[in-house]
Amino acid sequence: MENKQCPACGQLFQSRPQTRHQSYCSAPSCQRQRKKQWQRNKLQNDPDYQDNQRSAQHTWLERNPDYWRQYRESHPKYADRNRALQRNRNRQATGRVIAKMDVSIPDNSLPSGIYQLSRKSDDPIAKMDVWIVEITVHTCVCTDFVKIAKR
């Protein structure tokens, strides 16, 4: 059996005969890193997994609505550090909009018409499945409401 090098810790190890394609050693920290990499890959490439994760987070948040407020109150150093880091990230993202997941509340509604949505940036600040787009009006026929009788 050949020795392999663990990508997490860099140590040589012998893979288990039961696990032919084993690439990480069996150390708990390396296995955590392997699982974390697997999850990251699943979140990027598997829409069903993304939906399941979003649903699970939403359900958990409904059961624990005050968790984060209480956590920040009981961990003031963490909250202060996080606020400082976020201010720094916002400063570095000058001129870019910071998007949250699944938020679409327009300040003013657009008139009916045909629009073209084109991706504007691969902004790392935007979360999960958010696109920053530019809306270009192609046509807009705005007429008064016309009541059409049913047959």
As averages over each run of 10 residues, the pLDDT of the chain (151 residues) reads 89 89 94 96 94 95 95 95 90 68 61 68 58 64 59 50
Least Cα distance to 27 among 41, 50, 10 occurs for 10
Q: 54 lies in a domain?
A: no
CB 124 within 8 A of CB 96: no
* pTM, two decimal places: 0.47
CB 27 within 8 A of CB 9: yes
Q: 104 lies in a domain?
A: yes
Q: 92 lies in a domain?
A: no
CA distance 133 to 45: 22
The number of domains in the chain is: 2
Domain holding 123, by residue range, is 98-151
Instruction: Please report, as a single letter, which amino acid is at residue 60.
Output: W
Least Cα distance to 86 among 74, 100, 73 occurs for 100
pLDDT at 89: 85
CA distance 44 to 49: 9
pLDDT at 46: 93
pLDDT at 19: 86
